[in-house]
Amino acid sequence: MDNLSTKTFNNDFVSTFDGDQTGNLQPRQTPGVLYSKAIPTPVHRPQLLAWSDELAEEMGIAQPDQQDINILGGNLVTPTMYPYAACYAGHQFGNWAGQLGDGRAISLGEWPAANGKTYELQLKGAGPTPYSRRGDGRAVLRSSIREYLMSEAMYHLGIPTTRALGLVATGDQVMRDMFYDGRAAYEQGAIVMRVAPSFLRFGNFEMLAARQEIAQLKKLTDWTIDRFYPHLSGENKIINWFKEVVERTATMIIGWLRVGFVHGVMNTDNMSILGLTIDYGPYSFLDDYDPNFTPNTTDLPGRRYAFGRQHTIAYWNLSCLASAIAPLFENTDELVNALEDFKDIYQAKYFAIMADKIGLDELKEEDKKLADDMEKSLSLIKPDMTIFYQLLIDLPLIENKEELANWFNPSFYRAPDKESLEFLFVTIQAYQERMKDNQITAEAAKTKMRANNPRFILRNYLLHQAIQEMEKGQNGLFLKLQEAMKAPYSNIHDEFFALRPDWANDQPGSSTLSCSS
């Protein structure tokens, strides 16, 4: 096991591409470069709050000593590190935003692990960079706890994601206006060290295309394929790479839908080129099932990034990536076809995961109506998604609507109206009739359902409570959640298996969040 402070880091990205080496942190446009050197700004008193033992073991990283904590807080840069902020662009809420870049994230370098993998280590909240624009480059404890816990929770749910290695308090105060409504206040500062094979985004490619830096675009594309898609080669490798990005993106979105996750801000600069969930901000799990739910107040009233629209936004974002790499093709017909394949890929994955969620041996063509009706039933009744599917696992034979209402009552936030209950009853009858023809045993069906329907999710109100405690120096709930998220498909943490409490319905930081979250 190696310490952060003694390990020899790789710096393949900065040694391969042109960058601004001046170290000037003044916000500015940086044409012609893919990154800018950015030394973290020291903080007053870094204090370790959380450490991911599982990820550290995978990477071969020892428990942090004081030198390592100084690295986590941005107070120490070792000789083999080359801190930088990446330059990228993006479409935000459907509009072209031009140059964006890492405004509060600084990559330290690449960690070569004994398992043969390489991990990019990045500090989020370590101070200003040339891409901070009007920001201070800092992060608050509130948002840092949310990123640390949720990225690890998503990993344990089996969703492709970036991860979090460590969380430190900085000992400094940071001014934030949570809802951009003129009520700015000081909050405790914090920094997350997050980890991924790469933090490259769709926006990295969009930036080069917008500036017509086509040679750099080709170089970045080839480097990305050679490094992260090494199984692709030959004259068709770029189109085959794009097809795989389409596939991975669809897989990620299906994972979100399976567990009821809403990202909240699916801008193209928040889309990983590796198909990872990235940039945890105003996210939420669904409590009551609502396809139109968005936790992000910045996304109102249009609800562009609502739960039920995430697959359409993924397609739209992939179209932006396709447009960015189009200059690399003499004929874009195959690129367009690969983009259009997303719809069929998504549909196939959607129905496959619905079969898993409701315990079918397979989802036949005639079962698609059943899957759609199940989703429609949830949309009408708006039960707690997590609790509803848990109750479905052990569903007894239902013979009348009263039995149905009693069985699913623990998942209801409000009593269903007569028409909605009737629709659910008809759907459940069709479902139980279909289960009679299942080609797997009832126990095998339950096993499949338990493996695909989480029993524990990191609900926003729980995060809100943990944050409030942490701001007072208490970490009891934080530690409980950190353990519970490691076993989301078991019942060993059923103290959290409950409906969202009434007090959380309109609680800022719980029901309502913003891009500042």
Which residues carry out catalysis? 269
**What does the DSSP 8-state code read for residue 328?**
G
User: CA 270, CA 499: separation in Å to the nearest integer?
Assistant: 30
How many helices (H) does the chain have, and how many strands (E)?
Answer: 16, 13
CA distance 415 to 162: 39
For residue 269, what is the DSSP state? G
3-state secondary structure of 97: strand
**Cα-based angle 69, 73, 79 (whole degrees, multiple of 5):** 80
- Let me know if 469 is exposed, middle or buried by CB neighbors in 10 A (0-12, 13-18, 19+): middle
d(CA 141, CA 119): 24
- Token pair in block for residue 510: 């719980």
H or E element at residue 390? helix 385-393
> What is the signed CA dihedral for 27, 31, 32, 36, rounded to 10 degrees?
10
DSSP 345-377: HHHHHHHHHHHHHHT-S---GGGHHHHHHHHHH
Beta pairing, strands 105-112 & 284-285: unpaired
Q: What angle do CA 454, 460, 461 make, to 5 degrees?
A: 110
d(CA 251, CA 62): 33
